[in-house]
Structure 1
Amino acid sequence: MNFALILFVLVVITGIAWVADKLVFARQRRSSAALALAEFDAQRQHRQAVSGPSDLDRSRAKLAEEKLRQPWWLEYSASFFPVILAVFVLRSFVVEPFKIPSGSMIPTLLIGDFILVNKYNYGIRLPVVNKKIMDIGEPQRGDVMVFRYPKDESLDYIKRVIGVPGDVVRYENKKLTINGKPAEYKQLPDYLDEERLAYSKHYLETLPGGVQHGILNDSDRPAFIAGADPDFPFRDNCTYNQLGLTCKVPEGHYFVMGDNRDNSLDSRYWGFVPDKNIVGRAFMIWMNLGNFGRVGSFK
């Protein structure tokens, strides 16, 4: 379901109703009310014979209210327009919420984390079509990025940016090297994955450039990449062997990986993320119903 498209359609429908009410329907109601009140006032002397002044005033006010009241369909559609428009603008150009559905970014992000994604860090994009209309910044190595899955753009994925355009990324023996510079690793206590009820090797990885984050490796999983798509775009930029792979990132594309390295389907398997698929940069956990202590920013 394309929620952005649904929200856009609602903005258009309620916006048309709001404008039509301001320019047409409200004038018609005011004109109708004026005529009805003029007729009421013309009969006021006759009415005073059977009703007191206070009753007449209440009847006049009630008549005016009835004539000026919006029909129910217009009341709901036009009154919701400012709210829907504000949500649409906020979600399209400022920040958008997502929920983490899988464990591919453990230990950084857990299943059930609700995150916020900055929509303007990587440029202003038109909603629905996701076309960039203004350059502001580009993804950097180490960013946690949300993007449309290249093989099915109806799905949103979240991974960490490892390689930017022009980078040569080598992942062999479960260690990263970028442009000939190896990442640094510090071993941490083993990590218990409560979803799988299994321990994984836990490391603090420092990418060339200084970005640090936690990663997981499973010692019983092989280093070679099994099941990679043989036909993704720019497949010739990658070389696979028994130790892993080496890829040169093409212009306008990014190489991404999950922090849960042996439990993540990412650029090692389905290829590069084109710039046109980028949604934004994840920067904050705003809620986790099972663990309120996780709320806050993350690296």
Structure 2
Amino acid sequence: MNIFFGNIKKAGEGTRKKKSKLKEWIEAVIFAVVAATLVRTFIFEAFVIPSPSMEKTLLVNDFIFVSKLSYGPRIPNTPLAWPFTLHTLPFTKNTPAFSMAVQWPYKRLPGFGKISRNDVIVFNYPCGDTVLKSKGGEDEDYYNLVRGLGYDRVWKDYSPPVYRPVDKRENWIKRCIAVAGDTVSIDEGIIYINGQATSSPRHFEARYDVSMPDHKKMSDSLLNKLDIDRRVRDTQDSTIFSYTLVSDNVDALQAMGAIVKRRATIVGAGSDIRIFPFDPQHYEWNEACLGPIYIPKKGATIKLDTFNLSLYQRAIVTYEHNSLQVRNGKIYINNQETDNYTFKMNYYWMMGDNRDESLDSRFWGFVPEDHIIGKAWLIWLSYHQNRIRWRRLFSVIR
């Protein structure tokens, strides 16, 4: 009996075809791509910091891991897409890397926690739903251009806009200043949440005018020693130079005998059309003085009128997919006259730690919860001027 079955086994082994090297290689690549895509979608994803808006918390060319598990992984809206791409195929300028043939509604799996104030968060740029392409193939903000140049000129001078679903919009990173249900305001550059002044982040940067004892610019060696960015702004006084500094820089320079003064922020009302909600007729705000603004919370109902409509119109129409018209001073949502609205999602207010160099919620408003990608977690690599910043490696982002 053992001999009989032993012979059958040997016969079966002899009939198997050995896989070719090419087939083994293809199967290994497919497995690696699928595994990496699952990790990238549901566990963590790698990003690189491209701008100084979060200095000194995060520096240009910091490579970070973003945790998808912190708030719960988001199910992709556009599942038909090339792996490891965002919205455009590599080495092309306008070729989409995704198909909108299949669109899934917003859904997020359970996570380890909820978004809290002062979390550093990666999200899809809220106004990235519509972009224009420059002659060089770079993205340009459609809404900013329309506000600056006018609708007719933009449609005349530019090629037709490109439309993108939520999960294919550009990735941005900022600090969450206010969460759903909060009321935020800024007065003389100081942020107030629910009427209480907030403290600045540990590495908060601001512009200062510096006059050294010898009335010269700081040397490169001193800039390196104090870890000060070399982006210098000259002032009208040839003995005074403007730098972006953190509080430790200010203390060190003052100890050396330098005169250091914070650059005056714009105080009072303005008429800057760049500032949210882009309605200077009703809200004459600027980047240093705005609010109070209520941050929408899921299930919360607010009173609507023609005065506050500009604050919430984009949330109602673009993010929550309703129709809205104003006729004879009356508001119609989905063709029904109303004076209130109940929000379907939570929203957040984001700002950069380098406030004077940050394009953030002051310039484009709320971030909806379906735009949230994850929580910035760890710096795994960092370099500057072709040198690794060793002390930043594997540091936790706070």
Select which of 339, 344, 353 maps to 1:259: 353
Q: Distance in 2 between matches of 1:272 and 1:260?
A: 19
DSSP 3-state at the match of 2:28: helix
Against the structure 1 CA distance between its residues 250 and 81, is the aligned structure 2 distance closer, same or farther, given a 3 Å change threshold? same
Greater share of residues in helix:
1
Q: Distance in 1 between matches of 2:45 and 2:205?
A: 33
Return 5+ residue gaps in structure 2 as ranges.
Answer: 1-10, 79-104, 129-165, 209-225, 233-241, 249-260, 298-345
DSSP 3-state at the match of 1:282: strand
AA at the equivalent of 2:285 = N
DSSP 3-state at the match of 1:89: helix
Measured after TM superposition, the shift of residue 125 of structure 1 is 1.6
State the number of aligned residues. 223
Against the structure 1 CA distance between its residues 188 and 276, is the aligned structure 2 distance closer, same or farther, given a 3 Å change threshold? closer
Measured after TM superposition, the shift of residue 192 of structure 1 is 6.1
Bigger radius of gyration: 1
The aligned counterpart of 1:245 is 290
DSSP 3-state at the match of 2:41: helix
1:286 aligns with 2:380: yes
Deviation per CA, 1:106-136: give whole Å up to 9, x if none: 1111101001101011123213548333233
Against the structure 1 CA distance between its residues 127 and 192, is the aligned structure 2 distance closer, same or farther, given a 3 Å change threshold? same
1:157 aligns with 2:172: yes
Aligned pairs for 1:265-284 within 5 A:
265-284=359-378
The aligned counterpart of 1:85 is 34
Aligned pairs for 1:39-188 within 5 A:
67-70=17-20, 72=22, 74-127=23-76, 129=78, 131-136=106-111, 137-152=113-128, 153=166, 154-184=169-199
Measured after TM superposition, the shift of residue 138 of structure 1 is 2.1
Q: Distance in 2 between matches of 1:128 and 1:218?
A: 45
The aligned counterpart of 2:231 is 196
Against the structure 1 CA distance between its residues 188 and 135, is the aligned structure 2 distance closer, same or farther, given a 3 Å change threshold? closer
Against the structure 1 CA distance between its residues 285 and 240, is the aligned structure 2 distance closer, same or farther, given a 3 Å change threshold? farther
Q: Normalising to structure 2: TM-score of the pair?
A: 0.49
Return 5+ residue gaps in structure 1 as ranges.
Answer: 1-29, 35-63, 205-216
Q: Distance in 2 between matches of 1:230 and 1:249?
A: 13
Q: Normalising to structure 1: TM-score of the pair?
A: 0.64
Alignment check: 8 A CA contact 2:45 2:66 kept = yes
How large is the Cα RMSD of the aligned pairs? 3.4
Q: Structure 1 runs of 4+ off > 4 angstroms?
A: 185-193, 229-232
Q: Distance in 1 between matches of 2:262 and 2:356?
A: 6
Q: Distance in 2 between matches of 1:188 and 1:230?
A: 22
AA at the equivalent of 1:91 = R
* Bigger mean CA deviation after superposition, 262-271 or 182-191: 182-191
